[in-house]
Amino acid sequence: QVQLQESGPGLVKPSETLSLTCTVSAGSIGIFYWSWIRQPPGKGLEWIGYVYYSGSTNYNPSLKSRATISVDKPKNQFSLKLSSVTAADTAVYYCARFQGAFDPWGQGALVTVSS
Amino acid sequence: EIVMTQSPATLSVSPGERATLSCRASQSVSNNLAWYQQKPGQAPRLLISGASTRATGIPANFSGSGSGTEFTLTISSLQSEDFAVYYCQQYNNWPYTFGQGTRLEIK
Amino acid sitting at position A22: C
Q: Do the Cβ atoms of B44 and A94 come within 8 Å? A: yes
B43 touches chain A (CB under 8 A): yes
Return the DSSP state at A26: S
CB contact under 8 A, B101 and A44: yes
pLDDT tens digits along B8-54: 999 999 999 999 999 999 999 999 999 999 999 999 999 999 999 99
State which H helix or E strand residue A91 sits in: strand A91-99
Q: Which DSSP helix (H) or strand (E) runs through A49?
A: strand A46-52
Whether the predicted pLDDT of A22 surpasses 90: yes
**pLDDT for res A31:** 82
What digits encode the pLDDT tens for the residues A48-90?
999 998 899 999 999 989 999 999 999 999 999 999 999 999 9
Q: Which one of B44, B45, B49 has the shortest CB-CB distance to A45?
A: B44
**B69-88 residues touching A, CB cutoff 8 A:** 87
CB–CB contact B42 A107 (8 Å): yes
CB contacts, 8 Å: B42 with chain A: 107
**Closest chain B residue to the Cα of A61, Cα to Cα:** B95
> Which residues in chain A are closer than 8 Å to B100, comparing Cβ atoms?
44
Q: Give residues with Cβ within 8 angstroms of A42, minimum separation 6.
A: none
pLDDT band at A30 (very low <50, low <70, confident <90, very high): confident
* Calpha distance B27→B20 (Å, rounded): 22
The DSSP symbol for A87 reads G
- A102 at the B interface (CB within 8 A)? yes
Substitution target in B5, B85, B96, B102 with the highest count of A β-carbons within 10 Å is B96
Alpha helices, DSSP H only, in A1-115?
none
